[in-house]
Amino acid sequence: MSIPNLASLDVKGKRVFLRCDLNVPLKDGVITDDGRIRASLPTISALLNSGASLVICAHLGRPKGERKPELSLAPIAIKLSELLNEEVVFATDVIGESATRAVAALKTGGVVLLENVRFEAAETSKDESERSALARKLASYADLYVGDGFGAVHRKHASVFETAKLLPHAAGFLISAEVDVLQKLTHQPDRPYCVVLGGAKVSDKIGVIANLLEKVNVLAIGGGMLFTFLAAQGKEIGKSLVEIESIPTVKDLLIRADALGVEILLPTDIVVAPAFANELPTVVSADAIPADQIGLDIGPVSAMKFAEAIKKCHTVFWNGPMGVFEFSNFSAGTKAIAAALTEVQGLAVVGGGDSAAAVRALGFTDSQFGYISTGGGAALEYLEGKELPGLIALQS
């Protein structure tokens, strides 16, 4: 895949349409994790230092074409101004009067942040003509296009796909770095190679598991998805989360892994509670989960075994928490995995999404890991072997 980088563009005196991923978590209008904003700063600063002016486009949540005040990018504009230490003009719409006026007044070195692009129904429309019409309006704001929102490149959306093709374009530092890391994970990784997968749904990860089985040495399974694996082995899982329809596929994956000599790590002990709440935990054997209990984390013995396996590997990719880390009583498994990744002598990648939020919430810093991806879904689809529209649009 040949994707031009920033060095291929002469941006001096030009207006650049910059698609970022600023989809950060908010609580009562306050940003709780600004990791994605900070990840966008190197590209923003480089463009400004090279004499460009910027029209930044991003999304927040899934408003589905409706204007929802709680999903406004206004708090992101304030935070971005603080981090850049300069004014960021916030346009209160995407293609309306406010945006048109703000872009027209934009001077060299200036920054405009458009309102949530997903407030426009055409952004996510399945109708190509609707997306293209929006893309033409967005492209009219600038001379050049830079794609740096890796968390959205798996979406065939107007600002990600069609707009990029209408202007001379390149990838920003973030997308370039993400692609470089993902290529290392899929092409000749340093071995031993371990993939750790968690999260709620095994159906979200089946494609990744199937595509990586021939590439990995160790596959560790935690989170809610582990109970579908236990059910596939005929074990009692109590009231734990399970996807019945995925059991046959999981059985096939386990057979295939055995044939390929891939070590499958499943928990031998589970932390359970009677309800999905931060209640007093109990540790039980994975073979003996009581019928009235819910599995909410991997147990301490399993966490230790997972950590030992991780630290022996030279390449590790982790996506999905091991338990309900938001509850203090069920965060130990996730914390153990994060701690193990900080000790990997090689490339240790935290695969975005909930995993990235978890390591920060549990007190770790980005610098402790080899790489923290900004796009959980995009990274998974790349590792699944799918073509990502946003990357296709940026190819030479």
pLDDT in tens, 142-175: 999 999 999 999 999 999 999 999 999 999 999 9
Q: Where are the beta strands (DSSP E) in 231-346?
A: 263-265, 269-273, 282-285, 294-298, 315-319
Q: Does pLDDT of 277 surpass 80? A: yes
Contact 146, 122 (CB under 8 A): no
Kindly list the structural domains of the chain, giving each domain's residue range(s) and its CATH number in brackets, ordered by start.
6-177 (3.40.50.1260), 188-383 (3.40.50.1260)
Nearest to 54 by CA among 85, 88, 90, 16: 16
96 Cβ neighbours under 8 A, 6+ residues apart = none
Among the listed ranges 58-72, 253-267, 342-356, which one has the minimum average pLDDT value? 342-356
Q: Does pLDDT of 353 surpass 80? A: no
Residues 276-286 have a mean pLDDT of 95
Annotated catalytic residues are: 36, 201, 353, 377
One-letter identity of residue 129: S
Report how far residue 266's alpha carbon sits from residue 257's, in angstroms, rounded to the nearest whole number.
13
The pLDDT, as a whole number, for residue 188 is 86
Residues 46-62 have a mean pLDDT of 97
